[in-house]
Amino acid sequence: MTESNIRSVGVIGAGQMGNGIAHVCALAGYTVYLNDVTPDRIKAGLATINGNMARQVAKNVITEEDRKNALARIRPAETLEELSDCDLVIETAVEKEEVKRKIFAELCATLKPDAIIGTNTSSISITRLAASTDRPERFIGIHFMNPVPVMELVEVIRGIATSDATFETAKAFVGTLGKTIAVSEDFPAFIVNRILLPMINEAIYTLYEGVGNVEAIDTAMRLGAHHPMGPLELADFIGLDTCLSVMQVLHEGLADSKYRPCPLLVKYVEAGWLGRKTQRGFYDYRGEKPVPTR
């Protein structure tokens, strides 16, 4: 299968990453089947896509006609059987290996034999995930950055069994979305998160040890290193549960104490303060403007 005969793309998960991937695929001309565990989640994903495309129209990034045509290409798929004819299926479920394996087992039972499976995992071994499917040679990591419609980079990661044809098809597909590719080896957290998450974890240690408060740390990195967002603000945006799971993958996968998740990060996750999505993390988002929680 070459890039020219990928016509339809299945996206499993209609949350932040999934709806972003569906958004860029539909704008690039692909028929997209958007799946999630409940119809309400699919509906919410479609509403987000609609809003984000409307914003692109307002900024003259796309035309109103582009938006209408792209939205018409996205079909809700309430079951994985509805993805059976897709040429490529991209999984964007929660960053838990057992959840992903369960999805792949169900998906492989209905998916046509020559279809490619891509995973948007940000840290889990592609080789290990591929081995749990019936097509390790047609399995590949296609890791988009958040928010997908805005961020230009996609990491492409081969597992040990991924075929050259699958790799070339995945690269060509990502190219049609107007994204730039970084090819990463299949090591824990790949490139971006291997560098970014330990930096965020270090910022949390800096807070934990009382070197600076939330505001001082974020201001220091925004103005002192020209980061568009401070590391603690960014952690809230990513989700503290996601930050913790990536650090755990790094710590377990590389067995190096420098990747030990900060106890304060663990405490926030235990409290259910996961950042923006729960209205509280290193900042409290319940008022008119975010207020530091430490």
Catalytic residues: 122, 143, 155, 193
Bridge partners of residue 118, in order along the sequence: 90, 140
CA dist., res. 75 & res. 247, Å (int): 35
* Other Cβ atoms closer than 10 A to 238: 22
Q: Which residues contact 97 (CB under 8 A, 6 or more apart)?
A: 124, 128, 129
Q: What is the distance in angstroms between the CA of the first residue and the CA of the last residue of the chain?
A: 53
What sections of the chain are H helices per DSSP? 16-27, 39-58, 64-73, 97-108, 126-131, 164-176, 192-208, 214-224, 231-238, 240-254, 263-271
In this structure, the strands spanning 88-91 and 74-77 are unpaired
